[in-house]
Amino acid sequence: MSKTLAENTSDARSRLLDAAMTVIRQKGFSATTVDDICQAAGLTKGSFFHYFKSKQDLGVAAAQHFADMADGLFGSADYRKLADPVDRLLGYVDLRVAILQGPISSFTCLLGTMTQEVYKSHPAILAACDRHMAEHIGELVKDITEARDLYCPDALWTPDSLGLHIQAVLQGSFIFAKARGGPEVAVEILGHLRRYLKMLFKR
């Protein structure tokens, strides 16, 4: 395969996945059709089925695509350079607040959106979403473990449980943003999360 053809192939697949991330967060997985995704990507259904066997196959790939995007965003963020693990956790929350901009579908979590909708109907998508959310939480748990060892080594809670709690608050904030039609309520919720983390680590 020539370099140009390889680049075009990669670009077409990425366009479909980018379109899927956008449309599914706007309409939900069940309401999203292959035609919707093709139209948003500016590609044909033939292109879609060249890369994906089915809409479920696309959903699994879109979960990976979203996770890769999130890994890049949070992994390269400035707060990762901070020496104190609590500052890194607070920086994570601050970045979450900072990206609450634009249409609701642009900042909500594709993994959470699909999990709520497909948890009984599409086990492959559910497994992919669960795996990627767990991997994201695992990165937080590294900082949480370091922070607990430094500031409250006798705490009865586990780093894993706090990582899950942080993500539960985030996912809940997205639900309320959808319910109320804007990010303001999510900003307030994450403000409480930030204060809770500071109190938890006696900051």
End-to-end Cα, the chain, rounded Å:
57
Joined tokens for residue 87: 């500052």
Separation CA 102–CA 106 (nearest Å)? 7
Residues in contact with 14: Cβ distance below 8 Å, sequence separation at least 6, in sequence order = 65
Phi-psi region at 152: left, alpha or beta (left = phi > 0; alpha = psi -120 to 50): beta
Tell me the C-alpha distance between 92 and 61, whole Å.
Answer: 26
Q: What percent of the chain has pLDDT over 70?
A: 95
Q: What pLDDT, in 10s, does the model give residues 102-142?
A: 999 999 999 999 999 999 999 999 999 999 999 999 999 99
CA 167 to chain centre: 10
| Nearest partner of 159 among 144, 172, 177, 175, judged by Cα | 144
Model confidence pTM above 0.95: no
